Amino acid sequence: MFQVIWSNTALQDLRAIRKFIAMDSDHYSKLFAEKIVKSVKRLELFPESGRKSTEFSYLGFREILITPYKVIYHLDDNIVKILSIVHCKRDI
């Protein structure tokens, strides 16, 4: 089993997403944040389940889609490092 580590940036992204969605619905913001956390937790068992990042494949980054966001991560030994969560339409 792999260990998942969240970067400070990814945690800030998650908080910002939740805050943004909460402007319309506190309930939905909580559900969506839980969906992201649950999807990331699956990486403990299936770390290569995300596709290779189209923007950062040369760095070995992978991503999982949780529409309309993507979670960008990197595998290193038995560690999954969650780097960032970005909107799919955002230029990075």
Name the residue with higher pLDDT: 83 or 58.
Answer: 83
pTM of the entire predicted model = 0.91
> Per-residue pLDDT for 90 more than 80?
no
CATH of the domain at 80: 3.30.2310.20
Q: Which tokens is 68 given? A: 């309309």
E-strand spans in the chain?
3-6, 51-52, 61-66, 69-76, 79-87
Residue 8 counted as domain residue: yes
Question: Do residues 50 and 43 make contact, with C-beta atoms less than 8 angstroms apart?
Answer: yes
Distance CA 56, CA 39 (A): 20
* Domain count of the fold of the chain: 1
Q: 48: number of CA atoms within 13 Å, CB side? A: 4
Look at residue 92 and tell me whether its pLDDT is greater than 80: no
What local confidence, expressed as pLDDT, does residue 46 receive? 97
Give the domain extent around 58.
3-87
